[in-house]
Amino acid sequence: MSDEPTPPRLPAVLLDPWPVIAVGALAWLIAAVATFAVPALADWRPMTLAGLGVGVLGTTIFLWQRDAARRGARGAQTGLTTHRSPD
């Protein structure tokens, strides 16, 4: 038997991925708009569009894995919250 202390649970606000996704998407969107609005930033257009694309792909994979975890699929990623906890 181990007497190691157990760490406290993280606050729910730190477990919610949506603020991070929203801030990242908004930052890439602002950067992409800036590259099309400011001619001097035209060289950055491919990078900003790629950033938007990677963000969409990553969010899609996250939603797909969360849905699989909710369904209880055998190959689903573990540790994804399937609902918000009341605390």
pLDDT in tens, 3-59: 889 989 888 888 888 999 999 999 999 999 999 999 999 999 999 999 999 999 999
Asked whether residue 24 is assigned to any structural domain, the reply reads: yes
Split into its structural domains, the chain has a count of: 1
**Cβ neighbours of residue 69 under 8 Å, at least 6 residues apart?**
76, 77, 78, 80, 82
**Residue range(s) defining the domain that contains residue 35:** 17-71
Terminal Cα-to-Cα distance of the chain (whole angstroms): 30
Whether 35 contacts 27, CB under 8 Å: no
Asked whether residue 45 is assigned to any structural domain, the reply reads: yes
Asked whether residue 10 is assigned to any structural domain, the reply reads: no
Asked whether residue 40 is assigned to any structural domain, the reply reads: yes
For the question of whether the overall pTM of this predicted structure is more than 0.75, the answer is no
CA atoms in the 13 A half-sphere facing the CB of 64: 7
The region that residue 10 occupies, defined by phi over 0 for left and psi between -120 and 50 for alpha, beta otherwise, is beta
